[in-house]
Structure 1
Amino acid sequence: MQSRSEFETPPPGCPAHADGIRTSLHGPEFAAAPHAIYEQLRQYGPTAPVELAPGVEAELVTDYGTALQILQNPDAFARDPRRWRALNEGRVPLDSPVLPMMMYRPNTMFSDGATHLRLRQVVTDSLAKVDVHRVSRHVDRVAAYLIDQFSVRGKADLIGDFAQVVPLLVFNDLFGCPAELGDRLIVAISNLFDGIDVERSNEEMAGALFELVALKRALPEDDITSWMMQHSAQLTDEEMVHQLALLIGAGTEPVQNIIGSALRLLLSDEHFADGQQGAGVLVEDAINEVLWSSPPIANYATHYPVRDVEVSGSKLPAGSPVLISFAAANADPTLSAGRQTVSKRAHLAWGAGPHACPAKDPALLISIRAIEKLLNTLPDVELGVPLHSLTWRPGPFHRALNALPARFTPVRADRRSSVGSPTREAAESHGPVPEQGKRRRNGWWSGFLNWWKV
């Protein structure tokens, strides 16, 4: 894990950069035990030198107070990656797998000042129009459809068969995607998450979004895409595409990770398995525990000091990427010591300050409803493999399971309609049921629409 053979603890007061040690946040070792790495990094102080990918260096904030200080101080810490000195000087590999998550795009995440305020207002005003009852009903329909695909088997991968697909299908509805465009978006976004042909997938996603924008310009409807383009800020087509890519693409990853990690807890942790509360309370408690201890986006919110600055004794050079470790900050020992007196919502999983996630409420609603639908439909669902055999996707930014095998009593085909699903024959009218662990990218959205019309 270390760039040297052993982890060397810098003496108190010694700048972390002086010895050249950088801890790797990529690879299976970090994915398997990130909190052990965070604990080592605390020996450097509130920030520590890390490597996000080969040749991509950054500082990682592990201290809760320091994280808040940076998140809430946009005048000193900018979000625009065009300030990234190492990238501008050609010292970052242009084919690095982390660049798509870090390079500049004209959207609300990577902008500052008046530009950020203008773009964010469009997003927040449009999201405020979302009807939570409509979202709840649609999540129930989507979850029922997905469960219908595997319930007869008595087994499923709750990541590939469920958690990864729920937010994609729900977001397609919220953004008004017709069947063919929705299928293309799901394929492109899924491939981007998996690192499959990233350049082509980016092009395909952009192409589908430009078509969606053109469609809504001509035929606006009651959806987020139409509301955004009708906003008084008058976004251009290019601005629309970049905001949609951020909301749909980046918005689905946290939700699927929350669903997956919360299901892991609910199916394995005795605290939840033996709880006496109602199912809804248990689900919300499990999600809250995930947001504290295993945030879906573990390390991100890249900032760039606008000038050389010292924060909590750490020297941060201008233009150097500074990432917030939401996972490490939430586990800050000084915070954990008083956890009982800290608000349940004091975690940093959604960020803080002017760039805090604007979609946390719909994200939580989607996660809770999807999990409740699964547990209510398959009440005896349990882990299909030992807990210790579960593995996590490598990568510096997310906390995401590779798979979550589960087993349950198979649902007879003639009983499916009693749990809110059409019959087996109707479900099969749009194609074969996918095998466990395989994501049927092609046709998910059109398949759902056909299923619902039956």
Structure 2
Amino acid sequence: MTPHRNTSSAVTPPGCPGHAGARPAERLFGAEFAADPMASYTRLRAHGCVAPVEIAPGVHAWLVTGYETALEVLRSPERYSKDPRRWRALADGSVPADSPVVPMMMYRPNALWTDGQEHSRLRGAITDSLGRVDPDALRGYVEHSADTLIDRIGPRGKADLLSEYGAVLPLLVFNQLFGCPPDIGDKLVDGMSGIFDADADAEKANAVLTEGVAELVALKRREPGPDLSSWLMAHPARLTDEEMMHQLVLLMGAGTEPQQNLICNGLRLLLSDERFAGDLAGGSMPVDDAIDEVLWTDPPLANYAIHYPVQDVELDGNLLRAGTPVLISLAAANTGTGLAYDRRRGNRAHLAWSAGPHTCPAKGPAHLIAATALEKLLDRLPDIELDVPVEALRWRQGPFHRALAALPVRFPPIAPTTRWAPGDEGAASPALSPSAPAVSASRAPESGSAAGPRRSWWNRVTRRTPTR
């Protein structure tokens, strides 16, 4: 375990990650990093378990690449705070408020960015509400949503599984979980996707997301129902409207884009790696092994779990100044353990869900959604293949995620198994509570104004093909 000591009186080495000795900061953005992040992690490891990085132009941080060192940071809330209000460079204007990474790092009064008793109160509301979701009902809704999407692409014999399956399915599931109507879902789709890409429109995307969540909270105050939003609202923690908004943003952020990446990264592995191809050809479903492998080697959030030293502290021979962002490279820490594939199978000691007091509270539902999505697709399309060489697949740019830009596939066309029309996925269906009945069959939208917003929302999410 890496030792820590207070070094507030030390003068060397410099504490700014942008001026760490003679080393230039490694860039965690741009096309080169997106194409081969492991090359960057290899260079960073040459300097030890902690190294200076630049996560956007002019935005400097430290990146932890060592597994044991990462655990030490994640499990030491007395030394490393989650509260971004400690971020000195943002507070003094060195990092402008419109920097593309700020929406993913800024303070929000939610369970992710708080410490101590406030974190316990907010996290308790989340975990208790998630605990009311029935896994069998959740699996049923994922299967229903997956069948709907597969029926749409099946007759064509080819598809982009990212924009037409992996990116859409989590949105359908979470809009259902939150009791979110399609017109509000439209704003949540645009806003959430925008802040993850960390592009020039991130500030605008954050505003759109805020507007959509505010409308959802107002709706649930007026019309509570058997859904996650209403359960959070009724929790003894007595969340304010502002707190409600920020817990929902946190849950959406954790459950949509990362879930999409877990599904698509798992599909890429299953369709391209010879270790799984034999099992697929023999009719086996090595889905859990593939998910474990992705969580070890290509976790949906590659570099995140941001902390801020409470005081100046030495970590692996580097002086980390108080209030400087410290990111955990979940991908580098996992892949630096030296575990071979056969030792990773069934091994859940990876850091993809983080660790310590801020470990992901929804890892069970997240795993269930991904596994069900993969199993359903492979069951319905057993002869599916990549439509391009795996080396030709492109990855979206950004310091935080590991996300494909597209996942083109081909397969023998199949006939739909259910009657389907655009808009069905927005229709109401039973809530995911222990007392809920089975999810009803898909149905065509009735004529009238109700079909309009459903179709608009559906068209929006199916057109959303990331290019970065």
Same fold per superposition (TM over 0.5): yes
- Could you tell me how far 1:277 is from its partner in structure 2? 9.8
One-letter identity of the residue aligned with 1:320 = T
- Could you tell me how far 1:169 is from its partner in structure 2? 0.8
Alignment check: 8 A CA contact 1:169 1:445 kept: no
How many pairs does the alignment contain?
A: 421
The yes-or-no answer on 1:111 pairing with 2:108 is no
C-alpha distance 276-192 of structure 1, shift in aligned 2 (>3 A): closer
- Could you tell me how far 1:379 is from its partner in structure 2? 1.2
Q: Secondary structure at the match of 1:379?
A: coil
User: Equivalent residues in 2 for 1:8-407 (5 A)?
Assistant: 17-194=20-197, 195=199, 197-275=201-279, 281-333=285-337, 335-336=338-339, 340=343, 344-407=347-410
- Could you tell me how far 1:331 is from its partner in structure 2? 1.3
- Which 5+ residue runs of structure 2 have no aligned equivalent? 1-11, 425-442, 447-453, 463-468
Separation (CA, whole Å) in 1 of partners of 2:318 and 2:204: 40
Alignment check: 8 A CA contact 1:179 1:445 kept: no
1:444 to 458, 464, 468: 458
Alignment check: 8 A CA contact 1:50 1:58 kept: yes
C-alpha distance 291-341 of structure 1, shift in aligned 2 (>3 A): closer
Alignment check: 8 A CA contact 1:152 1:410 kept: yes
One-letter identity of the residue aligned with 1:416 = P
Q: What is aligned with 1:416?
A: 416
- Could you tell me how far 1:189 is from its partner in structure 2? 2.4
Q: What is aligned with 1:6?
A: none
TM-score normalised to the size of structure 1? 0.87
C-alpha distance 146-342 of structure 1, shift in aligned 2 (>3 A): closer
Q: Secondary structure at the match of 1:275?
A: helix
C-alpha distance 91-423 of structure 1, shift in aligned 2 (>3 A): closer
C-alpha distance 341-92 of structure 1, shift in aligned 2 (>3 A): closer
One-letter identity of the residue aligned with 1:371 = L
C-alpha distance 196-47 of structure 1, shift in aligned 2 (>3 A): closer
- Could you tell me how far 1:274 is from its partner in structure 2? 0.3
Q: Secondary structure at the match of 2:238?
A: coil
Deviations 1:12-63 (A, max 9, x none): x987811151010001111111111111101111100000011000000000
- Could you tell me how far 1:429 is from its partner in structure 2? 6.1
TM-score normalised to the size of structure 2? 0.84
Alignment check: 8 A CA contact 2:152 2:416 kept: no
Deviations 1:396-416 (A, max 9, x none): 1000111010001112xxx31
Deviations 1:374-401 (A, max 9, x none): 1111111100011110111111100011
Separation (CA, whole Å) in 1 of partners of 2:110 and 2:141: 28
C-alpha distance 338-197 of structure 1, shift in aligned 2 (>3 A): closer
Q: Secondary structure at the match of 2:133?
A: coil
Alignment check: 8 A CA contact 1:71 1:351 kept: yes
Q: Secondary structure at the match of 1:90?
A: coil
Alignment check: 8 A CA contact 2:30 2:397 kept: yes
Deviations 1:62-82 (A, max 9, x none): 000000000000010001011
Q: Secondary structure at the match of 1:40?
A: helix
Identity %: 54
- Could you tell me how far 1:344 is from its partner in structure 2? 0.5
- Could you tell me how far 1:373 is from its partner in structure 2? 1.0
Q: What is aligned with 2:5?
A: none
Alignment check: 8 A CA contact 2:292 2:345 kept: no
Q: Secondary structure at the match of 1:336?
A: coil
One-letter identity of the residue aligned with 1:444 = W
One-letter identity of the residue aligned with 2:139 = S
Q: Secondary structure at the match of 1:57?
A: strand
One-letter identity of the residue aligned with 1:398 = H
C-alpha distance 110-14 of structure 1, shift in aligned 2 (>3 A): closer
Deviations 1:92-131 (A, max 9, x none): 1332111111111111111111111111110011001110
Deviations 1:122-154 (A, max 9, x none): 001100111011110110111111112221111
Alignment check: 8 A CA contact 2:81 2:115 kept: yes
Alignment check: 8 A CA contact 1:60 1:325 kept: yes
- Which 5+ residue runs of structure 1 have no aligned equivalent? 1-12, 432-439, 449-454
How large is the RMSD of aligned CA atoms in angstroms? 2.7
